[in-house]
Amino acid sequence: MTGLRYVYAVCRPFGTPLQSQLSGVAGDPPRALTHHGLVAVVSHVPERDFAEEPLHRHLEDLDWLTETARAHQGVIDALTTVTTPLPLRLGTVFRDDSGVRMMMEAREEDFQRTLDRLEGRVEWGVKVYAESEQRESARPAQKATSGRDYLRQRRMQTRSHEEMWQKAEHFSTRLHENLSAFAEDSRLHPPQNPALSKATGQNVLNAAYLVPRAHSEEFVELVDRTKGDAPGMRIELTGPWAAYSFAGEAT
C-alpha cells in the first residue's frame, strides 16, 4: 500500500463505527487497525507531506499546523464519544501497518494499564481570567494636577492592581481546591498566551481535571455555580476532552 501511517490514538475495540464524514489529517478517513486486544486509529498520509523532511518544514508553518492540529483533535474528539482513546502526540507517523503493529506489540502492557486507569473518564479544562482592563477603564483617568497628585494616583493604581492579583490568586486557589476534591486527578498547566488564545484578561489559572464521564454533569454544575462568585474573574470551561493531560505516566 502507498503512503505512510499517521496514528491518532490507541484504544480498546469499540462496536460503534466512526462517523463516515470524519476526515483525518490529510483528508483520509481514519480507520481502525486491530492488533491483539487493541485498536490503533490510523490514516494513510502522503510521503510528500509526512516524511521526515517535509514534516519538519510543515511544523514551522502555523497554518499547516493549525489545520493538522484541528484534524487530529477532530478524530480524537469523535473517538471520545464512543470509547476512551489514548491520544498520541501530533505527528506520530509509521512507514506501514506492520510498523504500527510492532509499536502496539511493544507497548501493549503500558497501553492496557493506562486504559484501565482512564476507562470511562474525560478531561475538563478550567481557566480563570482576571479582567483587569475592565477595572481600569471603569475608573476615569484623571489628569494629575501636580507632582504630588500624580504620585498619589500612581500609588492608588498600583495598590488596586496588587489587590486584583491577590484576589485572583485567592479565588483561583480556592476554585482549584474545590474542583480537585471532586475530580479524580488534576493537572496545572502554564497560563496561556492571550495572543494565541485571543482571550481577554490575564490567564491566572489553567487546569485540567480528570472526571468520570458519569459525573461530568455534576462537575459542570460545580464550575457553573462558582461563576458569579467573584466579580472581575471570568471562568472558562472546555471539554469534554480525551484525557490528554493524564495519558502520560501515572502519578
Partner 1 sequence: MTTPSRMPEPYGGQGSSANLADILERVLDKGIVIAGDIRINLLDIELLTIKLRLIVASVDKAKEMGIDWWESDPNLSSRARRDELTRENAELRERLARLEELEPGRAEKKEAP
User: For binding to partner 1 (CB under 8 A), which residues are involved?
Assistant: 4, 7, 10, 19, 50-52, 55-56, 59-60, 62-63, 65-66, 69-70, 72-74, 76-78, 80-82, 86-95, 99, 103, 107, 114, 122, 124-125, 189, 192-193, 195-199, 213, 216-217, 220, 236-241, 244-245, 247-248
| Of 86 and 130, CB closest to partner 1 | 86
The grid cell for 62 is: 502555523
- Could you give the C-alpha distances from 98 to 47, 49, 109, 156, in angstroms and in order? 17, 21, 18, 67
CB atoms within 10 A of CB 65: 14
The nearest distance, CB 231 to partner 1, in angstroms, is 22
- Smallest distance from partner 1 to CB 67, Å: 11
Question: CB-wise, 73 or 153, nearer to partner 1?
Answer: 73
**Nearest approach, Cβ of 80 to partner 1 (angstroms)?**
8
Shortest separation between residue 107's beta carbon and partner 1, angstroms: 7
Between CA 130 and CA 167 the distance in angstroms is 9
> Which residue's CB is nearer to partner 1, number 29 or number 74?
74
| 183 secondary structure, DSSP code | S
Nearer to partner 1, 7 or 230 (CB): 7
Please report, as a single letter, which amino acid is at residue 212. Answer: P
- Residues 6+ positions from 31 with CB-CB distance below 8 Å: 18, 41, 42, 43
Closer residue to partner 1, CB minimum distance, 32 or 220: 220
- Cα 201 from chain centre: 19
* Shortest distance (Å) from residue 152 CB to partner 1: 36
Pick between residue 136 and residue 218 the one whose CB is nearest to partner 1.
Answer: 218
DSSP character at residue 42:
E
Shortest Å distance, C-beta 248 to partner 1? 7
Dihedral through CA 178, CA 180, CA 182, CA 186, nearest 10? 150
